[in-house]
Structure 1
Amino acid sequence: MATEEVNKPPSLPPYPEMILKALEALNEQNGSNKSSISKYIESTYGDLLAGHSALLSYHLNIMKESGELVFWKNNYMKRDPDAPPRRGRGRPPKPKDHLAPSSASTVLAPTTRSRGRPPKDPTAPPKPSKAKVSSGTGKPRGRPRKMARPTGGLDGAAVTAGTTTSPSGKPRGRPPKLKASLTEVSVQQ
């Protein structure tokens, strides 16, 4: 910003002052947009710097953030001290309650919680062990284990047909097609 003031001709006032004069002179009800402010400044103060539009944008943003100007619907206007602040879109932020330093010493400091499961307390007494409760049926819980495949061939025909047999003795899958055997019919005369 120091280089801006060195290169500035002595006849130009500071940019914030030029912006405020432009807003007063234009006196639009809903404020003035950046291009109308720029055109007014160019027409009033003929000799401007090469980076006029960049400087204007910079100073408008600074004045908007400091609260001198209000930016609403792409227009800049002077802040009215009696008007309530305009609410933006979305949910308003929660108010931040900070403890005073004097009350912080009397109340325990809030602990910050980390993500995930908290670590076990080493000073806590051990929990009593749970006794296993049986269901009374004598069967173990859950899915039964797979039976081992029999290694000896139960049925030679099933193996040759490409099907395997289950422990119950029935072959698994679709039964093979039976081929009709041809028999000779003898004719007696």
Structure 2
Amino acid sequence: MATQGLAAPPLSLPQYPELIVAAIEVIDKKNGANKSAISKHIEATYGNLPAAHSTLLTHHLHKMKAAGQLIMVKNNYIKPEADASLRRGRGRPPKAKEPLQPGTVLSPVKPRGRPPKPRDPLAPMTVTPSVSGRKRGRPPKLGSSTVMATPSASGQRAGRGRPPKVKALVAAPVGA
């Protein structure tokens, strides 16, 4: 029986990491190869590629870069050399730690902050109220919750800012 609608069996295409490494080796530039050059080489070598070739290539390039199989320098991918040291991150490198001798006892970690004042162990523990009887901290403003001490003539609170000038009435001459 012939089955219709089924896709043809996939051709023997190597895995993408193998394709990428082979393409970088064949291109063999000093600065490596960029993504489009790798893609063009794979397309030229293997004509029948999946429809999602560019997506698969991008995924595997990122995956290989994260795993350390490839190094990206100026938008080009290169294979890391065996004797090359890994690139270090930003900032000053940490100091090398010397191995401890066996039997060495480490002192406990010093806590942060100022140590507490020494207390007299013979003194009884009592809670003393504050000396002045006031609450701690800055006292609240008087103007925010109470009415101003000098209300205007109409009985309302004075507004913000400088009050307007009062115009003097000029008296008319008497006996005209």
When normalised by structure 2's length, the TM-score is 0.56
* 1:29-178 equivalent positions in 2, closer than 5 A: 29-87=30-88, 91=91, 125-132=125-132, 146-147=148-149, 174-178=166-170
Aligned letter for 2:36? Answer: S
Select the structure with the greater relative contact order (CA < 8 A; seq sep ≥ 6). Answer: 2
In structure 1, stretches of 5+ residues that fail to align are 1-5, 96-105, 112-124, 134-141, 151-158, 163-171, 185-189
1:122 aligns to what?
A: none
**How far apart in 1 are the matches of 2:165 and 2:56?**
83
In structure 2, the partner of 1:179 is 171
More helix by share: 1
C-alpha RMSD of matched pairs (Å): 4.1
Q: Aligned-pair distance for 1:8?
A: 3.5
Superposed displacement of residue 72, structure 1:
2.0
Listed as ranges, the gaps of 5+ residues in structure 2 are: 1-7, 96-105, 112-124, 134-140, 155-163
Runs of 4+ in structure 1 over 6 Å off: 92-95, 106-109, 142-145
TM-score normalised by structure 1 residue count: 0.52
Take 2:57 and 2:9, find their aligned partners in 1: how far apart are those partners? 15
Aligned equivalents of 1:7 and 1:15: distance in 2? 18
Give the count of matched residue pairs.
Answer: 128
Query: Shift of residue 38 of structure 1?
Result: 0.4
Give the Cα–Cα distance (whole angstroms) in 2 for the partners of residues 148 and 8 of structure 1. Answer: 94
Identity of aligned residues (%): 36
Which is higher, the Rg of structure 1 or of structure 2?
1
- Is 1:8–1:49's contact at 8 Å kept on the other side of the alignment? no
